[in-house]
Structure 1
Amino acid sequence: MLFNSPTFGIFFLLVFILYWFLNKGSLKKQNILLLLSSYFFYACWDWRFLFLIIFSTLLDYYTGIKISEARNQNYKKTWLWLSISINLGFLIVFKYYNFFTSSFAEVVSYFGFKVNAFTLNLILPIGISFYTFHGLSYVIDIYKERIKPEKDVVDYSVFVGFFPLLVAGPIERATHLLPQIKKKRNFNYDLAVNGLKQIIWGLVKKVVIADQCAELANQTFNNPTNYSGSTLLLGAVFFAFQIYGDFSGYSDIALGTSKLLGIQLLNNFAFPYFSRDIAEFWRRWHISLSSWFRDYLYIPLGGSHVETKIKIRNILIVFLVSGFWHGANLTFLVWGLLNAIYIIPSIFFKTNRIHLDVVAKGKALPSLKELIAMCFTFSLTVFAWIFFRSINLEQAFIIISNIFSSSLFIIPEFQSDITKPTIFLIVLFMFIEWLGREEQFAIAKLGLKLPRLIRWGLYYVLIITVLYYSGSKQQFIYFQF
């Protein structure tokens, strides 16, 4: 049930009506409806994995209570590691088992031993990386005595399985989401309008930008030997906008639908392609995951309050784990390693926190220095995306070697007539993003100073554009993670 499908529109409309109009404002009924709707939403992907999310939810619910009740520190640790081990165990079996066994067989073959790797023919449960991290942060926060355990199993289950964020985030925290789940919610017109606008912009990102870029990016990445360096470079740029439009579009739709239900989720993107260095990029890209690794891995390793060489070690660990979180492939590890290499100089020279504000805040245009910094940061990011998108390292190196060849200087050629229109759409899209970069999403205040007729006309143009480009419904990229 894709967010950009009529099926989801019908599903959400029914949930919305039942949620606000048929339960007479009962918080308990609202939460039960959210839970049942979330499990139905998940079952539409594959009902067989419902047991997995329910088991994981009940495990962490019970573990959280036992950790809180334990008077002995050893008992607390036992329950904590029980939860961590089982949760990560499921993740390893479904997501990483085949990678580890195949890699082991390949390594020992170099020493003359022949091992037949026993692999499992398993389907990756959708969203497992996301709801696993929900549960882990919850039990760790209880162990650290940052929060009290939730005693209402329905409320906790909604926290883990809330359908807007269930399959691709954002990765929520119990300190942020649970209080909203437990608080009586009344319909807020202004919040709902804001949510509708965010949904529209999310659909523009996904349907108009990401899905058009996907066709062109797929051409180059699927057959890199058939294209010139200039075409491959442009294909990598198209993928950069594909993954941004796809993932931030999903997040916008998730945040928008949640606002229609009176719940505000964590912001997951803050115009990352306007970043002036890689450190700023990672404060603006997939914010919920970056902050999760900061709080539950980087800081426990010592964070920034250690000597520089330990700090650099911590950065390497975090980015390698982040890369591996995305998938069991060496390409993701290289992608993570590249980003670590990018950010280490700023850690060494202590310049990683010099760009904390919005670029060119209050100004129409950036300075020349800011523009150069943004272009350089974007170039580094595009280069790293080549590894992220490639099927294997061999394909990635073929693309890179062709880009850094004489064929880089010939005119790009795509076997598609949507190339120029897509470039125009990207330019227009980034112009609107630039205008709205100081808001939570680009069109949050679009046309507020214009007459109502013109303002509504702009919204209808966006809706019509989405409908025009909605022919092919491609799955969201991050569903595979």
Structure 2
Amino acid sequence: MLFNSLEFFVFLPVVFLLYWFVVHKNLKLQNFLVLVASYVFYGWWDYRFLSLIALSTVVDYFIGISIHESDNKKIRKRLLFLSALFNLGLLGFFKYYNFFVDSWIDLLASIGYTVESTWTLKVILPVGISFYTFQTMSYSIDIYRKQMKPTRDFVAFAAFVSFFPQLVAGPIERASNLLPQMLAKRKFDKTKALKGIELIVWGLFKKVVIADSFAPIVNDIFANYTDYSGGTLIMGAVLFAFQIYGDFSGYSDIAIGTARLFGFDLMTNFNFPYFSRSIGEFWRKWHISLSTWFRDYLYIPLGGSKVGKWKGIRNVFAIFLVSGFWHGANWTFIVWGGIHALLFIPSFVLGTNRRHLEDKVATTSILTYLKTTAQVLYTFFVVTVAWVFFRADSIRDAFQYLGGIQSLKVDATSFIMYSDILLILVLLVLDFMRYKKKKIHFILWVLMAIAIVGSLNREIQAEFIYFQF
């Protein structure tokens, strides 16, 4: 079920009314309703894959209890290994099986051996498997580390794993944050609910008005990049940068806002990343739930930055390459991750990667303002170049796309697209107001709602980009 669909606009108020007016006096019934609603929400896409969520839930529920109850370190490790093997095995089969088979066939072909591609399978990628897999894995790991105790409330745990607002595209929640909320009595909070509605409207605006407006243009440019001038290719790359931001951060805002309607607080997943002054700051603000997941469960266990410069560089490459591979079974994503690693390494070596930890950009003088603006524009530039590899169908296409930009001619298509800059400016102004914590006037909320309704009249409603991951 899509957040930007008619089905969801019927589903949400029905669940909301049942939650707060029918089962509100009984916590277990509330959690059971959340569980049922989550399975209906996910099953609307393809009910067959509900078995994967259910199986993952059962496995990690019992493994979590078993790890906690065992005092034998070897047994605890084996149980944790079993959890990782099961979860990564499912993820690997459904998401990466054909990638590895095709890569192996291509490798053999490069040295003169021809192999029939009979080993490939028609595997459907279950929506959200990368997200809920990491969510359940972190639960088992945290119990193994003795950072939390397992719950004996199976329904609450199952509701945590399948919580419908963030089930298919995050944020990737930690059990330490969301599970205690499942186990605690919730009371309706009008202020929280209104803030949730604001986030839903803001997220829908970014998705259906901004991202979906850019989607057909971006798709056409990247599919036919050899037919367009350099000016059009530049616009295509910039539009994709804002498309993926509007699409993914829009989903996160809708998810967080929807959760607040039911009394839950999810973690922030985006913190105005395009106002970042460096690559390090960008990754502290973009897809925060994933970057912190890899930091806590991969980078730090490898030794982080405390194992010397060379091993530290190895760890940086590991986290960025794995992050790229997490996004999809294509070499383009791995190269995208590698580009970000190369961009990050200089500041890591010089020890400047922890700069700009403060939330707000300082503008105490005109020189500071100009310096900050230059840093933000440079960061956006290199991030946008990297996005070309993320969006392209192949590495070859990405290099040819960038090569085509050398021709800086501006044709009629480029000129027409410059009207889309107005939409980008609207997004940036509204985002900047939220960044500065300026109150958005009620009239603007009404205008955004009208724009959303108008955009929903499109014949085709685009799926969220991160559904494919």
Is the 8 Å Cα contact of residues 297 and 318 (structure 1) preserved in structure 2? yes
Letter in 2 for 1:223: N
Distance change >3 Å, CA 218–CA 416, structure 1 → 2: farther
**Does the 8 Å contact 2:231/2:414 carry over to 1?**
no
Indicate the residue corresponding to 1:450 in structure 2: none
Q: Kindly report which structure 2 residues correspond to 1:120-135, keeping only aligned pairs within 5 A, or say none.
A: 120-135=121-136
Count, aligned residues:
465
Alignment partners' CA distance in 2, 1:72 and 1:438: 52
After TM superposition, give the deviation of residue 4 of structure 1 in Å: 1.1
- Counterparts of residues 231-242 of structure 1 (less than 5 Å): 231-242=232-243
What CA distance in whole angstroms lies between the structure 2 residues aligned with 1:415 and 1:146? 54
Q: Which moved more, 1:361-370 or 1:72-81?
A: 361-370
Please tell me whether the aligned partners of residues 187 and 263 of structure 2 are also in contact (alpha carbons under 8 angstroms). Answer: yes
Superposition deviation, residue 201 in structure 1: 0.5
Query: Residue 116 of structure 1: CA displacement?
Result: 2.1
CA distance in 2, matches of 1:363, 1:193: 34
Quote the Cα distance in structure 1 between the aligned partners of 2:413 and 2:26: 56
Any residues of structure 2 matched to 1:272-283 within 5 Å, and which? 272-283=273-284
Q: Aligned partners of 1:356, 1:413: CA distance in 2, in Å? A: 43
Could you tell me which of 380, 401, 404 is aligned with 2:403? Answer: 401
Residues of 2 paired with 1:246 and 1:78: CA distance?
40
Matches within 5 A, 1:381-400: 381-400=383-402
CA contact (8 A) 1:43 1:50 kept: yes
TM superposition shift of 1:457? 2.3
Unaligned segments of structure 2, at least 5 residues: none
In the alignment, which residue of structure 1 is the partner of 2:245?
A: 244
Question: How does the TM-score come out when normalised to structure 1?
Answer: 0.94
CA pair 179-35 structure 1, distance change in 2 beyond 3 A: same
Matches within 5 A, 1:342-421: 342-361=343-362, 367-403=369-405, 405=406, 407-408=407-408, 410-414=409-413, 419-421=417-419
* Aligned-residue offset at 1:109: 2.1
| Counterpart AA for 1:133 | F
Using the alignment, how far apart are the partners of 1:293 and 1:17 within structure 2?
Answer: 38
Distance 1:255 1:261 in 2: 10
Counterparts of 1:153-172 in structure 2, within 5 Å, are 153-172=154-173
TM-score, length basis structure 2: 0.97
Structure 2: distance between partners of 1:437 and 1:363: 17
Residue in 2 that maps onto 1:61: 61
Q: Aligned to 1:476, which of 451, 464, 467?
A: 464
Deviation at residue 363 of structure 1 after TM alignment: 7.0
The match for 1:8 is 8
Counterpart of 1:288 in 2: which secondary structure?
helix
1:257 and 2:258 equivalent? yes
Provide structure 1 residue ranges, at least 5 long, that are not aligned to the other structure. Answer: 440-444, 448-454
| Corresponding position: 1:456 with 2:442 | yes
Post-superposition CA distance 1:457-478 (Å, at most 9, x none): 2221110011122224110000
2:66 alignment partner AA? K
**More off after superposition, 313-322 vs 352-361:** 352-361
Contact preservation (8 Å) 2:362, 2:369: no
What is the distance in 1 between the residues matched to 2:429 and 2:224?
Answer: 31
Contact 1:209 1:422 in 2 (8 A): no
Structure 1 residues 222 and 150, CA gap change in structure 2 (3 angstroms): same
What is the Cα deviation at residue 413 of structure 1? 3.8
- Aligned amino acid, residue 475 of structure 1: E
**Residue equivalent to 1:435:** 433
Structure 2: distance between partners of 1:432 and 1:295: 33
Give the superposed CA RMSD. 1.5
Give, in whole Å, the separation in 2 of the partners of 1:361 and 1:259.
31
Alpha-carbon deviation of 1:397? 1.2
Amino acid at match of 1:392: S
- Give identity over the alignment, percent: 50
Native 8 Å contact 1:269 1:287 kept in 2: yes
Q: State how far apart, in whole Å, the 2-side matches of 1:414 and 1:391 are.
A: 22
Instruction: Name segments (4+ residues, structure 1) moved above 4 Å.
Output: 361-366
Equivalents in 1 of 2:364, 2:442: separation in Å?
Answer: 26
Q: Name which of structure 1's ranges 33-42 and 463-472 shifts more when overlaid on structure 2.
A: 463-472
Partner of 1:106: 106
Shift of 1:398: 1.1
Aligned to 1:451: none
